[in-house]
Structure 1
Amino acid sequence: MYLENLVFDAVDPQRLGRFWEAALGSRKLTDEPGIYETRLSVPDGPELDLCFGRVEAAPTEPLRLHLDLRGDAEQEAVAARLRELGATDLDIGQGDVPWIVMADPEGNPFCVMESREVYSNTGPIAAIPIDSADPERDGKFWSWLTGWVPAPGVSPVTLRHPSMRGVLLEFGPEPGPIGDGKNRLHLDVRLETGDDPDAVFAKVVELGGGDFPHNWGELPWRVCVDPSGNQFCLLPARG
């Protein structure tokens, strides 16, 4: 199994997808009605596809995960370029912090980060912070699910691809109870040839996760939740 996608719900997938493609310098994969996909590659590290799928109305529930972009010494210049692309500054009550809080064209919050040693070789996305009721438990769950390993970070638990390159997954305390709506950003994990889908899902349950009930009809993948209720999809093996 491996981490394949970061998925955004989007009222206008093309507009949002092109914003993030320009912001990250990623490569377009798909541009079709209702879907836009772009691939972010890190030299000698993992690939991550950003997928933007159409929804009828803009989501309103709080995010369970967000993007922290690498700013370093060019933090202000990075933020200025993102404003030119369509981002806006955002006040979520953060106060005086060394990072810059912004929103993408559909209002999804993200941060442009100051220089941090742990962001070495991450690429343009420094980290994906994920809300967690129990960071230690959820870190072990996602390490099993993705094959990523513990790494230095500033959150209670941080995981990284075994190459020690590419984005960090950071697990920190959730600000409040999770709602029962659809997460507007979520991760997808791809099964590989030889993985038994039923055995993988049984392990998801054993480790505290489960199914996510939905009324979206028959899907070629399984919608699941981690032990803190964060939604993710288990995609079938290719071919």
Structure 2
Amino acid sequence: MTLELVQVNLKARNDSTLGRFWAQALGWSLSSEGPGVTNLEPAGFDWPDPSAVCVDLVRVPDPETVRYRVHLELATNTDAHHAELVGRLEELGATRADVGGVGVGAPSTVMADPEGNMFSVLEPRDLYRDTGPIAAVVVDCADPREAARFWGGAIGWTVHGLTDDRALLRSAKGVGPYLEFRRTSDDDVVWNRIHLDVMPDPVEDQAREVARLEGLGATRADVGQGDVSWVVMADPAGHQFCVLGRG
């Protein structure tokens, strides 16, 4: 297996301002690879590494028109840590939200970042004690079993739980956050501006990995990306993601 889940890509009105919020929220380092792009990763991180799924913020003129069914859930270690983190996030500009469908199945405080992207701060759970600040990347879907089949095959992650309502995957190395697929009806979906990015290792295997993903049921997608180094694809449920290449 040569494909790694390396980051979540978040569309933003102002990538640098929103990047500062998320860097402080996660306790991560902030950098930029060029105008309109802000990168977040743990200090000293040697990318890619399954111990963390990084965050890439990209400025777009009208992010409200870009919809992805993905959100982040943040881990806490104790009740005091949960209260402290929620309070600190509010000081940084986040607000509490009451939205059905987010946080179902796990006690949480649902919040919105300064640009309105929903996320959850989970109460302490043993499952997430060693994930780092991001407990899980959650994808709303109609069929968690089918999602686990595709994504388990795509990135080689181990399935830790599988029901009709929920599929839970994690790196085979037992590190980093979980990737969770959660059954949600279209009426309950909270649209966010986040999608997943995967990268071949080595990156020169991009064409071969794209072909392998097509064999698993993915399709290429045209979102007006033009001539770029990444390939935009959609999984069998229609969730778009990118296969990165050498930029």
**Correspondence for 2:88:** 81
| Partner SS state of residue 42, structure 2 | strand
Whether 2:21 is the aligned partner of 1:16: answer: no
**Correspondence for 1:40:** 42
**Correspondence for 1:162:** 172
**Correspondence for 1:53:** 58
**Correspondence for 1:69:** 74
**Which residue identity does 2:225 align to in structure 1?**
W
Return the alpha-carbon distance in structure 2 between the equivalents of residues 86 and 109 of structure 1: 13
Classify 1:192/1:54 alpha carbon distance in 2 versus 1 (closer, same or farther; 3 Å).
same
**Correspondence for 1:27:** 29
Alpha carbons 2:220, 2:234 under 8 Å: kept: yes
Return the alpha-carbon distance in structure 2 between the equivalents of residues 68 and 95 of structure 1: 9
Q: How does 1:54-203 map to 2 (within 5 A)?
A: 54-59=59-64, 63-71=68-76, 72-73=78-79, 74-93=81-100, 98-152=107-161, 156-176=166-186, 184-193=193-202, 196-203=205-212
| Partner SS state of residue 115, structure 2 | coil
| Partner SS state of residue 59, structure 1 | helix
Residue in structure 1 matching 2:232, options 220, 223, 228: 223
Residue identity over aligned pairs, in percent, reads 36
Alpha carbons 1:102, 1:112 under 8 Å: kept: yes
| Partner SS state of residue 170, structure 1 | strand
**Which residue identity does 2:69 align to in structure 1?**
R
TM-fit CA distance, 1:205: 2.2
TM-fit CA distance, 1:184: 1.8
**Which residue identity does 2:186 align to in structure 1?**
G
| Partner SS state of residue 63, structure 2 | coil
Q: Deviations over 1:54-97 (max 9, x none)?
A: 11023156540101111342212110010011101112246998
Alpha carbons 1:64, 1:183 under 8 Å: kept: yes
Whether 2:220 is the aligned partner of 1:211: answer: yes
Classify 1:78/1:96 alpha carbon distance in 2 versus 1 (closer, same or farther; 3 Å).
same
Classify 1:78/1:198 alpha carbon distance in 2 versus 1 (closer, same or farther; 3 Å).
same
**For structure 1, which runs of at least 5 residues remain unmatched after alignment?**
none
Alpha carbons 1:190, 1:237 under 8 Å: kept: no
Q: TM-score, normalised by structure 2?
A: 0.84
| Partner SS state of residue 150, structure 1 | strand
Alpha carbons 1:125, 1:167 under 8 Å: kept: yes
TM-fit CA distance, 1:203: 2.5
TM-fit CA distance, 1:224: 0.3
Q: Deviations over 1:102-129 (max 9, x none)?
A: 0001100001111222112011111111
**Which residue identity does 1:25 align to in structure 2?**
G
Q: TM-score, normalised by structure 1?
A: 0.87
Q: Deviations over 1:127-174 (max 9, x none)?
A: 111112221121121122222111258962111112222111001113
| Worse-superposed segment, 84-93 or 33-42 | 33-42
Return the alpha-carbon distance in structure 2 between the equivalents of residues 146 and 215 of structure 1: 26
**Which residue identity does 2:209 align to in structure 1?**
V
**Correspondence for 1:6:** 8
Aligned residues: 235
**Which residue identity does 1:219 align to in structure 2?**
V
